[in-house]
Amino acid sequence: MPKEIEYSAQPMDWETRAYWEGCGRHELVLQRCLDCGSVQHRPRAVCVSCLSDDIEHFAASGRGKVHTFTVTNQNGLPAFREACPYVLAYVALEEGPQLMTNIVGCDPEAVHIGMPVEVEFCDVEGEAGEGATAVPRFRPA
């Protein structure tokens, strides 16, 4: 049985703070444009559809489907070496945006495009306000 990927705290800046703080609460936070209604991820200062800066953050459902994926069988980096094989995937969230993530909680050979998945959070070392304290990943729903 492979070990888990050793996630590390991710640096926050003013654009990503609400997202990473949401992860710390185990909420997947997305942005919605209050002018055109577009939902986006990754977090940005402006709407990528209409360039409005009138944006709100909200907690997403955490549900989606595997859009595409790859199974990594070799990675020499220490945080990943013992976790092989692991699944790197783009998940299409119910709200529209796609998120690059890992699929966990099942045999990598069982992952397939269109598979329903739901978010879970892996807590990482880090102080509140200094960096992400949890990283989102997905498991079969």
Rounded least distance, CB 97 to Zn ion, Å: 13
Interface with Zn ion (CB under 5 A), residue from 2, 3, 42, 49: 49
Stretch that binds Zn ion, among 3-11, 31-39, 57-65, 118-126 (CB under 5 A): 31-39
The 3-state secondary structure of 5-74 reads CCCCCCCCCCCCHHHHHHHHCCCCEEEEECCCCCEECCCCCCCCCCCCCCEEEEECCCEEEEEEEEEECC
Rounded least distance, CB 46 to Zn ion, Å: 8
Closest C-alpha to 139, from 42, 23, 22, 115: 115
What would the two tokens of residue 121 be?
Answer: 């959070």
Q: Give the total of residues touching Zn ion (CB under 5 A).
A: 8
Interface with Zn ion (CB under 5 A), residue from 8, 42, 50, 70: 50
- Tell me which residue has tokens 């991820």: 41
**Per-residue x/- track, 51-80, Zn ion (CB under 5 A):** -x----------------------------
Q: Which helix (H) or strand (E) holds 103?
A: strand 98-103
Rounded least distance, CB 23 to Zn ion, Å: 24
Residues in the site for Zn ion, rule: CB under 5 A?
Answer: 33, 35-36, 38, 47, 49-50, 52
